[in-house]
Amino acid sequence: MTLQISIKPIHSVVGAEVRGVDLSQPLSADGFAQIRQALDKHQMLLLRDQNLDQESLLAFARHFGEPEIFPDPNTTTGKVPQVLRLTNLNADNQPTGPGPHMARLSLAENWHSDSSYRAVPSYITFLHAIEIPTQGGDTHFTSMHASYDALPPELRERVEPLSAIHSWEYQRALTPGRPPMTDAERASTPPIAHRLVQRHPSTGRKLLFLSASARNVDGLPEPDSRNLLNELLSVATAPERVYTHKWRLKDLVMWDNRATLHRAGGFDYQSLTERRLLHRVVIGGDKAAYEQAKAQH
């Protein structure tokens, strides 16, 4: 019997709510196929009231690819290495104040696509709300398909052949308080060029690829390079193209990093009074699919 999943758009260009699914229970291959198809169409999905422990969250994520393992043991939950702890809680489960860990979290306030500084950017990010503050802590999303479509024709023609140089070192420096990168870190994540206009590996639909890691446009002098990136970001983050997600307890949100930008906003991670904890799993990008999409450009 074919599983009928209800998909309801929550914004005009990005995001849809998936209803009638309990991910703590077995879900058929057809069910996963419908969710994947909905993700390709809407780029970001919301599933409310999901009672998931770390293993259940990871099991669901694995249906979409191989989860990344985070190298910093201080960011994991200590139970499942593929689950990242996004929180202002310390090892004693209490809110903590300023420090390098909080500076890392503050990076998320910039519009970005996860791991855009890698040769093959991340595919899907999952966030599951375990503890949420009474106010604030919203997450903002925008569609990079809609952003490309919104470019004026002359600007679209200009950026079509261009690439941006993405740098993890540049992105880290956007937020003060983090220690300098080590030589080993620089060697493991060298700057990489990504086309500003790409085709989605699954749908073939064109998109604009931007992120906070975009240091400069290859071949353009400063300030022309920065002005162009700022202009493109302004188009992408125009209010009519931004969906703001206001978290509820047990929300599961998943998004396609190849087709969206997101940013955190409205929550002071240095706060000593409000608790916030989300579990995060990221599916790594498919190198073959990414290379094929570039070849089809």
Q: Which of 208, 210, 212, 169 is nearest to 191 (CA)?
A: 169
Cα distance between residue 197 and residue 216, in whole Å: 15
pLDDT higher at 26 or 269: 26
User: Tens digit of pLDDT for each residue in 94-108?
Assistant: 776 555 555 555 667
C-alpha torsion 178→182→184→190, nearest 10? 70
| Burial class of residue 287 (count of CB atoms within 10 Å of its CB; 0-12, 13-18, 19+) | exposed
pLDDT band at 150 (very low <50, low <70, confident <90, very high): very high
Cα distance between residue 297 and residue 293, in whole Å: 6
- The domains located in the chain, with CATH, are 6-295 (3.60.130.10)
Is the pLDDT at 1 greater than 50, yes or no? Answer: no
Share of the chain above pLDDT 70, in %: 88
Is the pLDDT at 71 greater than 80, yes or no? Answer: no
User: Tens digit of pLDDT for each residue in 184-197?
Assistant: 888 989 999 999 99
Q: Which of 127-136, 137-146, 182-191 has the highest mean predicted lDDT (pLDDT)?
A: 137-146
User: Tens digit of pLDDT for each residue in 252-268?
Assistant: 999 999 999 999 886 66
pLDDT higher at 92 or 31: 31
What strands, in cross-sheet order, belong to the sheet with 214-217?
192-195, 163-166, 214-217
> What pTM was computed for the model?
0.91
